Amino acid sequence: MCRMLGYVGGPVLLDDLIVKPDNSLIHQTTSARMLAMLNLAGFGLAAWDDGMADPHLPLTFHSTQVAILDGNLRGLARKLRVRALVAHLRGVPHDGHAVVNQQSLHPFFMAGSPLVLAHNGDLADFSVMRFALVEYLKPEIARRITASSDSAWLHALILSQLDNAAGPFTSDEIFRAIKSALSIVRRVRENHGINRSSSVNLIVGDGRNLVATRFTFDFGKFERPPFQGGIEYLSQWYTQGDHYAFADGEWKMTGGNGISTLVASEPLTSDVSTWVEVPEYSALLVDASGECPRRRIVPIEI
C-alpha cells in the first residue's frame, strides 16, 4: 500500500522529514516495515512556508521517478524548509494494470483551494461506483478532476462538502467535510452492493490544519481476495513536540507537548517509543492556526 506523511509546526528542513530518518518516507520505497511492499509508482508533496509567494497555497512537487533514486527530490529536500507538509509515496499492484502518471500522484490539489489530500488504501470496485458520485460534486469542482483514481475523486468529493473550497477552514470544518464524503461513499457502495474491505486512511491539510483518518469500510468482509494489504487494518501514527531533529543518537520529536505534530503511515524511526497510533475508526485533528496548537482524537461515526 501507499505510504504518506503530514506535518505542521515549527520550520523544519524537508531532508529531516523525508530522507534522513532510518525509516524515512523515501526509504519506504523499498523497505517499508509495516506491510512491507515495494512502492515504486512515484512521489508527491505539498509544502507551505511563510516566506513563499502566496503562503496560504502550497508549493507542489510530483514525480513518477522511483522516489529513493530521484535526484531532483533529494536536491529539493536539502534546500527547502517548511512549516507544513503533506507527502505521499505511491504504491500500486504489481500487475501491470495501474496508471502511473503525473495526474495520478498524491497529494491532490486544485487551483484556488489550499486543501490537499493524500490517501493510503483503495475503494474496492471504484470503477463501478465512480459516476454515481457525480451528483454529489459541485460542477466547478467536478470539471477540474484530472485523474480517474479513487483518491482524486475523494479529494473532489471532500472539497464539494465545504461551503467555500477557497477557505479559510478550521480542523472541525475539514473533518465534517471528510465525514460527509465518507457517508456518501458508504451510501453509494451500498446501492451498488459493494462490501469488500476498503481502506480510507487520509491525510488532509491546508497548511494550518491537519486531519489524519484511520478508517476502513466493511473491514473483514471479502467476496474476492483483498487488494494488497487488505487483510490488515492499515496503520496511522503520530508524534508531537517542539522540534523534529536528530538528538541523543536518533531522530525524534523533542520538547514534549510543543507546537509541532508529525503523522505518518508508520513511524519514521526504528524506536517507536515517542509515537502514538491513531485508533481504528478515528481521526487526529490538529489546529495550528493559533499560538498554541490544538490536537484531538475523535471517532469517525458514519
Q: Residue-wise pLDDT tens for the chain (302 aa)?
A: 788 999 999 999 999 999 999 898 888 877 665 555 666 568 999 999 999 999 999 999 999 888 888 899 999 999 999 999 999 998 755 555 566 667 789 999 999 899 999 999 999 999 999 999 999 999 999 999 999 999 999 999 999 999 999 989 999 999 999 999 999 999 999 999 999 899 999 999 999 999 999 999 998 765 555 444 445 789 999 999 998 888 888 888 888 789 999 999 999 987 888 899 999 999 999 998 777 889 999 999 99
Q: What angle do CA 128, 131, 136 make, to 5 degrees?
A: 130
Which residue in this structure is represented by grid cell 529513493? 68
Q: What is the pLDDT of residues 72-120, one digit of tens each?
A: 999 999 999 999 999 999 875 555 556 666 778 999 999 989 999 999 9
Which residue in this structure is represented by grid cell 506523511? 5
Task: Identify which of 23, 75, 89 has the alpha carbon closest to the alpha carbon of residue 252.
Answer: 23
Name every residue whose Cβ is closer than 8 Å to that of residue 51 and which is 6 or more positions away in sequence: none
Q: Which backbone phi and psi does 128 adopt, to 5 degrees?
A: -75, -35
pTM of the shown model: 0.93
The predicted structure's pLDDT at residue 229: 43
Task: Identify which of 75, 61, 59, 69 has the alpha carbon closest to the alpha carbon of residue 26.
Answer: 69
Task: Identify which of 168, 170, 206, 198 has the alpha carbon closest to the alpha carbon of residue 182.
Answer: 198
Q: How far apart are the first and last CA of the chain?
A: 24
Tell which CATH classification among 3.40.50.720, 3.60.20.10, 3.40.50.2000, 3.30.70.270 matches the domain 3-299.
3.60.20.10
